[in-house]
Amino acid sequence: MNEFIERDGNIIVNVSYIEAYIPYDLFSDAEFKSAIAYEFNDYICMIGIFNMRCFGDESDARESSKLRTFTYPNMINTYPDSHTKEKLSLIPGDEIQEYMVLKYYRGNIMMEADTKHDSINCERFIELLNKGKIPSTVPYDDLLSLWLKNLQINNVDAGVPALIFQVIISELCRDRNDPSKQFRKTIGKDPSIPHTNYFPANTNAVSAYSSVFAGLTFEKVAEKLTTSLNMSLEGKEQIKSPIEQVLSM
């Protein structure tokens, strides 16, 4: 049975009950031009990449339903029946974080079938990547395709080869067991590892895992001190930028 059906120009919920989980820190005021998610009147505007669960009934335990991923890489207007703010860990072992839990019942509008095309949506997608908020349930192999689809939907030519996108993705996706290592190196050695077993890091975390110098010269110095000390004590390999090489001559 399809979870969604198209009717009257909308994508409609076709099961008894659905919950969608949106990281709460993605929400900002609608007036913020590049906001990734915000409430507006009777709907919520957000990028359509998020975790969700489908239930036979609202009383079903969350753990009884498989965690799924909704992947439409553009801004959507969604019309949940209600929403709540909750602290959850969606993937076993992950840290608990705050989510806006959107609740849908059969007949609610998940999104409009035809979304608006705007170059600002490409900036929002990049911001989602840089914040490390694309769910790791999206396979590593699919991230480039989603990015390119976002550009295609909004009729934008980035003007750079796809290799540039791949480099950015490879730096932001880290080994879940060793965040100092890019995930591409892990699956390069063992392709049988699940391609969802990565940690989607933000740019702040990437700087911390690169080197002590990069971490302490970026932002949030207090947090970076702990990472830097651990990196030094464990003898982790550090990436030296040309500036650091000059300064340390």
Instruction: Output the DSSP codes for the chain.
Output: --SEEEETTEEEE-SSEEEEEEEGGGB--TTSTT-SEEEETTEEEEEEEEEEEEESSTTS-GGGS--EEEEEEEEEEEB-SEEEEEEE-SSTTSPPEEEEEEEEETT-EEEESSPPP-THHHHHHHHHHHTT-S-TTS-GGGHHHHHHHHHHHTT----S-HHHHHHHHHHHEEESS-TTSBHHHHHHH-TTS-TT-EEE--HHHHHHHH-HHHHHTSS-HHHHHHHHHHHHHTT---PPPHHHHHHT-
Which of 116, 118, 120, 119 shows the shortest CA–CA distance to 34?
A: 120
Are 169 and 187 members of one domain? yes
Count: domains in the chain: 2
Give the pLDDT confidence of 196-236 residue by residue, as tens digits: 999 998 887 777 776 555 555 555 555 555 555 555 555 56
Question: For 15-24, 65-74, 158-167, 174-183, which range has the lowest pLDDT when averaged over its residues?
Answer: 174-183
Beta carbons within 8 Å of 115's beta carbon, 6+ residues apart: 72, 74, 75, 76, 77, 153
Same domain, 239 and 128: yes
Final residue in a domain of this structure, among 112, 146, 165 = 112
Sorting pLDDT into bands at 50, 70 and 90, what band is 242?
low
188 & 105 share domain: no
State the pLDDT confidence band at 87, using cuts at 50, 70 and 90: very high
- Per the structure, the complete domain to which residue 236 belongs is given by 120-247
Phi and psi at 32, nearest 5°, equal -75, 115
69, two tokens: 């991923």
Look at residue 59 in the predicted model and tell me its pLDDT: 83
CB 62 within 8 A of CB 52: no
Provide the token pair at 214: 């990069």
Pair (191, 242) in one structural domain: yes
Question: Of 156, 134, 154, nearest to 144 (Cα)?
Answer: 134
| 208 and 237 fall within a common domain | yes
Record the tokens describing residue 50, joined without a space: 């998020």
55 and 36 part of one domain: yes
The answer to whether residues 44 and 90 belong to one domain is: yes
What contacts 24+ positions apart, CB below 8 Å, involve 178-182? 179/205, 179/209, 180/209, 180/231, 180/236, 180/237
Let me know whether 67 and 154 are in one domain.
Answer: no
Compute the average pLDDT of residues 142-158.
Answer: 96
Least confident span in 27-36, 143-152, 194-203: 27-36
Q: Which tens digits make up the pLDDT trace of 155-176? A: 999 999 999 999 999 999 999 9
Please write the tens of the pLDDT for every residue from 40-70.
Answer: 888 999 999 999 999 988 888 888 899 999 9
Q: What is the pLDDT of residues 89-142, one digit of tens each?
A: 998 888 899 999 999 999 999 999 999 899 999 999 999 999 999 999 999 999
Other Cβ atoms closer than 10 A to 233: 8
Instruction: Check whether residue 35 and residue 94 sit in a common domain.
Output: yes
CA angle 138, 203, 207 (to 5 degrees): 125
Last residue of a domain, one of 93, 112, 131: 112
Q: Which of 77, 112, 147 is the last residue of a domain?
A: 112
Both 131 and 217 in one domain: the answer is yes
Same domain for 105 and 133: no
Distance (Å, whole) CA 142 – CA 73: 11
pLDDT at site 196: 94
37 and 126 co-located in one domain: no
Q: Does 243 have pLDDT greater than 90? A: no
